[in-house]
């Protein structure tokens, strides 16, 4: 991979020449190939879908259908199992609203709020018990999973890669344990699908949620994958136009999946933009992308650990780096880094229970992606040393 060359595809880095962007876990930047495809759709193909009978509407239908087929293929799924939503948060809410379960829910302590709160609300409303899997060295403890997932469990919701620690969780093993107990598995792929090959068949999960904006695509488009027979049994989350077969005064017949879950005019341009992002990622190669992020993160960990007073929380093999310092609050770290042209995230990362468990008020988080270079790492480390000078 040649990140220096890749960077040339991103208009934002030409406008902001000195920007070192290391907040990719929050959102990624967009290459011109994605921006141009969105613009091309609006300039040449724009119409509402599933409604018009003229050629232009037909072309828009084809664009949306192709975007769905590409997205499904990217995760080893069937288009009929691939629902377009706004983002990971909406996918989790849709599931928590529509999925019928009657046993216990198992979440993890490291869970992002959007993967935690929809299930907590469901548990509260439906009087279901929740338990939380412990974190061990930045990963979900498999030992704890073996203890807490049992015949009373009906659903296990975990993230593939934590947005706090950046390490891959033992999802296949957790899925095995869940399925041995007839429990469903919901995987939050917000931080994995952009960075590594993810195949729902290989993982064996029942549901997968992810967001387009973290993988070079536009904001406002995300995906809920679900096994077809499960999606078919679920009630729609929203109702309205575009998701019905027939409505009479007495009767409503819904469309088949996935349209059943896509009420109203969908984000067609967003889907087309996501398709372009997937083309772009596939062109580079998901294995190469994962290795690159891990190498950059490993180099950051190695260098930061040499700075006195820095405590790295991310384990070996992580693709992002969370750290605290003895000399400054994470917000102050991020502010001084900002003054040095380095953009990182600081705070609780929407994982307050995990912060509470660690007894910290937050971390500074450095999350690289395909356009981050060794030079970016040098700038970051120099800037962290600068923070130390300012606060000591
Ligand atoms: C692990 C994880 N899950 C869920 C989300 C929520 O994603 P979105 O805000 O796109 O819905 C994020 C966003 O940072 C995340 O990192």
pLDDT in tens, 268-307: 999 999 999 999 999 999 999 999 999 999 999 999 999 9
Instruction: Give the Å distance between the CA of 45 and the centre of ligand 1.
Output: 31
Does residue 188's CB lie within 6 angstroms of at least one atom of ligand 1? yes
Confidence at residue 50, expressed as pLDDT on a 0 to 100 scale: 86
Cβ–ligand 1 distance for 89 under 6 Å, the answer yes
- Centroid of ligand 1 to alpha carbon of 115 (angstroms): 8
Q: What confidence score (pLDDT) does residue 383 get?
A: 97
For the Cβ of 112 lying below 6 angstroms from any atom of ligand 1, the answer is yes
Mutate to test the pocket of ligand 1, among 107, 171, 190, 193 (most ligand atoms within 8 A of CB): 190
Bridge-based pairing of strands 153-159 and 104-108 is parallel
The stretch 328-333 carries a mean pLDDT of 96
Per-residue pLDDT band for 392 (boundaries 50, 70, 90) equals confident
Residue 163 CA: nearest ligand 1 atom is 16
- pTM value > 0.95: yes
Confidence (pLDDT) at 249? 96
Report the pLDDT value the prediction gives residue 338, as an integer from 0 to 100.
98
**Among 55, 29, 56, CA closest to 41:** 56
pLDDT at 349 over 90: yes
User: Would you call 17 exposed, middle or buried from its count of C-beta atoms within 10 A (0-12, 13-18, 19+)?
Assistant: exposed
pLDDT tens, residue by residue, 47-93: 999 878 899 999 999 999 999 999 999 999 999 999 999 999 999 99
The pLDDT value recorded for residue 69 is 98
Task: Name, in order, each residue with C-beta under 8 angstroms of 274's C-beta and a sequence gap of 6 or more.
Answer: 67, 71, 212, 215, 217, 218, 221, 223
Say if ligand 1 is within 6 A of residue 111 CB.
no
List own/partner pairs for 357-361 with CB under 8 A and 24 or more apart. Answer: 357/109, 357/135, 358/313, 360/324, 361/329, 361/330
Which ligand 1 atom is the nearest neighbour of the CA of 161? 1
Res. 130: pLDDT tops 90? yes
Read off the pLDDT of residues 4-32 as tens digits, 9 standing for 90 and up.
999 999 999 999 999 999 999 999 999 99
Q: Which of the residues 350, 355, 360, 390 is marked catalytic? A: 350
Per 3-state DSSP, the chain is made up of helix, strand and coil in percentages (nearest 5) of 45, 20, 35
Average pLDDT, the chain: 97
pLDDT single digits (tens) 149-179: 999 999 999 999 999 999 999 999 999 999 9
At residue 202, what are phi and psi to the nearest 5 degrees?
Answer: -65, -40
- The domains found in the chain, sorted by start residue, are 3-22+285-387 (3.90.1150.10), 34-282 (3.40.640.10)
- Is 209 considered catalytic here? no
Cα gap 188→351, rounded to integer Å: 14
Ligand 1 centre to CA of 280 (Å) is 22
Cα–Cα distance between 226 and 256 in angstroms, integer?
Answer: 13
Residue 1 has pLDDT above 90, yes or no: no
**Average pLDDT for residues 333-351, to the nearest whole number?**
96
Q: What is the pLDDT of residue 214?
A: 98
**Which residues 6+ apart lie within 8 Å of 167 measured at CB?**
138, 139, 161, 314, 315, 317, 318
Positions of E strands within 227-301: 244-247, 252-254
């Amino acid at each position: 991979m040649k990140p220096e060359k890749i960077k040339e595809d991103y208009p934002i880095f030409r406008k902001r020449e000195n920007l070192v962007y290391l907040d990719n876990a929050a959102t990624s930047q967009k290459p011109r190939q994605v921006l141009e495809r969105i613009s091309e759709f609006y300039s040449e193909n724009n119409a509402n879908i599933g409604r018009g009978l003229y050629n232009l509407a037909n072309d828009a239908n084809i664009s949306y259908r192709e975007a769905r087929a590409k997205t499904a293929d990217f995760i080893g799924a069937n288009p009929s199992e691939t629902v377009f939503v706004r983002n990971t948060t909406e996918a989790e809410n849709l599931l928590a609203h529509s999925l019928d379960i009657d046993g216990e829910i198992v979440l993890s302590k490291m869970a992002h709020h959007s993967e935690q709160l929809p299930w907590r609300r469901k548990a509260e409303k439906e009087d279901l018990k929740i338990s939380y899997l412990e974190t061990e060295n930045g990963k979900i403890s498999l030992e704890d999973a073996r203890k807490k997932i049992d015949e009373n469990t009906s659903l296990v919701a975990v993230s593939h890669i934590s947005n706090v620690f950046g390490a891959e969780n033992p999802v296949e093993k957790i899925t095995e344990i869940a399925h041995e107990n007839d429990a469903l598995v919901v995987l939050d792929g917000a931080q994995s699908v952009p960075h590594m090959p993810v195949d729902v068949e290989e993982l064996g999960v029942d549901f997968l949620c992810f967001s387009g904006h973290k993988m070079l695509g536009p904001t406002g488009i995300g995906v809920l994958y679900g096994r077809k027979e499960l999606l078919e049994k679920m009630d729609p989350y929203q109702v309205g136009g575009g998701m019905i077969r027939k409505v009479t005064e007495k009767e409503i017949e819904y469309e088949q999946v996935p349209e059943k879950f896509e009420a109203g005019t969908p984000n067609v341009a967003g889907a087309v933009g996501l398709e372009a992002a997937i083309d772009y990622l596939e062109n580079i190669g998901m294995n190469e992308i994962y290795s690159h992020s891990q190498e950059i993160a490993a180099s950051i960990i190695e260098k930061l650990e040499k700075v006195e007073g820095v405590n790295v929380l991310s384990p070996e093999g992580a693709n992002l780096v969370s750290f605290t310092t003895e000399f400054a609050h994470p917000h102050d770290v991020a502010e001084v880094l900002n003054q040095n042209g380095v953009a990182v995230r600081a705070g609780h990362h929407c994982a307050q229970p995990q912060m509470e468990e660690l007894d910290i008020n937050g971390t500074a988080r450095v999350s690289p992606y395909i356009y981050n270079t060794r030079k970016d790492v040098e700038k970051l480390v120099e800037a962290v040393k600068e923070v130390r000078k300012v606060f000591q």
